[in-house]
């Protein structure tokens, strides 16, 4: 689930035989529909922005557990420090400073190992694909050398495999020097089966190879479904989707996790910065004022489907068709 984050994707390794075998085609494949699968952030005739692989896991179960441990040790440390300051006469004077030091070390561990990737980082790490310059820009941080920029035609894309659990699949991009992997990034959400990943890839492939008109023949599909703003509503929506409770009983059981994850995710977003591409990249990505292919972006995820019954019916129909494959 956290593949590529902990640990990071390995570098300076050989491309595996499986990765060669599962290369993603640059041409249309039979039986593969086009569907952005809520990975799209923005769309126009010049570029598309895609979400990073870790976006959906921000603030979820592992983060909740690590945050609880972190705050527990911080509070415990604070309690001991206060007692030491009050100079409890029944305890040896050096005992509380030692306990406070150990508590601080214990609280640093979960933060440094995991939470530093969540808190005080970035709200998301977009991947921008410019159709006109045929460049892919992978955001990693603001400022100098914070974006990995590679020509579209020089990236080896394949079906990625998760490590925890191993059943998860995603789109993986490899930067190669011969058969040696120099860098790796992942696009979009992960799924438990290949078909949704292939549909997501088909959306990206068609946009880059065939143009913006090729990805959505039906007007009811021409909108962005995912919102990356850190509102409390968006955090709750993503938490409910993440735990995937369908029946009323399952929803009741998962309610405490949804509530905790919503709060944790909201707190994370409040501490994070918004990603900003460098000026030179933005200069290459200017959108024409009369661009007919600018898709609307929602304030909250799923907003357009919730407001327009026709869009909802279309989304349900596509979902049922995809599930039957």
- Apex 282 CA angle, 295 and 2, nearest 5: 75
Query: How far apart, in Å, are the Cα atoms of 324 and each of 81, 316, 321?
Result: 60, 12, 5
User: Which has the higher per-residue pLDDT, 126 or 31?
Assistant: 126
**Two structure tokens written together for 171:** 């789109």
Higher pLDDT, 119 or 88: 119
Percentage of residues in the chain with pLDDT exceeding 90?
Answer: 65
Residues 234/300, Cβ–Cβ less than 8 Å: yes
Please report the pLDDT score of residue 67 as a whole number: 79
CB 26 within 8 A of CB 158: no
Residue 65 C-beta-side C-alpha neighbours within 13 Å:
3
Helix and strand numbers (H, E) in the chain are: 9, 9
Beta bridge partners of 295: none
Residues 22 and 158 sit within 8 Å (Cβ to Cβ): yes
Mean of the per-residue pLDDT values for the chain? 89
**161 contacts 176 by C-beta, under 8 angstroms:** no
214-270 residue pLDDT tens: 999 899 999 999 999 999 999 999 998 888 866 677 778 888 889 989 999 999 999
- Residue-wise pLDDT for 142-180, tens only, equals 988 999 999 999 999 999 999 878 899 999 999 999 999
What's the confidence (pLDDT) of residue 300?
96
Residue with tokens 């026709």, as numbered in its chain: 310
* Separation of alpha carbons 126 and 53, rounded Å: 10
Do residues 191 and 168 make contact, with C-beta atoms less than 8 angstroms apart?
yes
pLDDT value for 274: 96
Pick from 84-98, 131-145, 285-299: least confident: 84-98
Average pLDDT over residues 293-310: 96
176 by DSSP, 3-state: which?
strand
Closest CA to 55 of 103, 126, 106: 126
Position 325 scores a pLDDT of 67
The residues, any chain, with a CB within 8 Å of residue 218's CB and separated by 6 or more, are 314
What local confidence, expressed as pLDDT, does residue 70 receive? 75
β-strand pairing of 47-50 with 127-130 = antiparallel
pLDDT at 90: 59
- 190-209: pLDDT as tens digits: 999 999 999 999 999 999 99
Residue 92 has pLDDT above 60, yes or no: no
Report in angstroms the alpha-carbon separations of 104 from 91, 171, 190. 20, 39, 35
Strand partners, 14: 180
Q: How far apart are CA 261 and CA 214, in angstroms?
A: 37
DSSP strand pairing (169-177 vs 180-191): antiparallel
The predicted-structure confidence for 48-80, as pLDDT tens digits, reads as follows 999 999 999 998 878 888 778 777 777 777 776
């Amino acid at each position: 689930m956290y593949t590529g984050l902990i640990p990071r994707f390995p570098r300076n390794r050989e491309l595996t035989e499986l990765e060669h075998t599962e290369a993603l085609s640059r041409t249309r494949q039979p039986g593969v529909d086009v569907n952005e699968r809520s990975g799209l952030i923005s769309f126009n005739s010049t570029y598309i922005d895609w979400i990073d692989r870790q976006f959906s896991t921000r603030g979820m179960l592992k983060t909740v557990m690590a945050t609880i441990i972190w705050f527990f040790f911080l509070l415990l440390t604070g309690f001991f420090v206060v007692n030491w300051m009050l100079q409890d006469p029944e305890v040896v004077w050096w005992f509380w400073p030692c306990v406070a030091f150990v508590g601080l070390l214990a609280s640093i561990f979960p933060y440094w190992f995991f939470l530093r990737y969540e808190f005080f980082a970035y709200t998301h790490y977009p991947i921008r694909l410019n159709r006109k310059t045929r460049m892919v820009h992978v955001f990693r941080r603001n400022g100098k050398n914070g974006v990995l920029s590679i020509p579209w035609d020089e990236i080896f894309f394949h079906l990625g495999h998760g490590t925890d659990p191993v059943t998860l699949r995603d789109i993986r991009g490899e930067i190669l020097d011969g058969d040696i992997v120099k860098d790796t990034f992942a696009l979009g959400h992960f799924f438990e089966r290949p078909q949704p990943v292939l549909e997501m890839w088909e959306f990206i492939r068609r946009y880059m190879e065939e143009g913006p008109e090729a990805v959505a023949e039906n007007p009811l599909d021409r909108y962005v479904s995912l919102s990356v703003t850190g509102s409390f509503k968006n955090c709750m929506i993503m938490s409910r989707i993440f735990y995937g409770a369908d029946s009323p009983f399952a929803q009741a059981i998962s309610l405490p996790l949804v509530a905790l994850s919503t709060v944790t995710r909201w707190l994370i977003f409040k501490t994070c910065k918004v990603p900003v591409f460098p000026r030179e990249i933005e200069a290459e990505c200017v959108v024409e004022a009369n661009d007919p292919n600018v898709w609307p972006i929602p304030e909250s995820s799923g907003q357009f489907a919730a407001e327009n019954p026709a869009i909802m019916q279309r989304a349900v129909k596509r979902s049922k068709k995809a599930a039957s494959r």
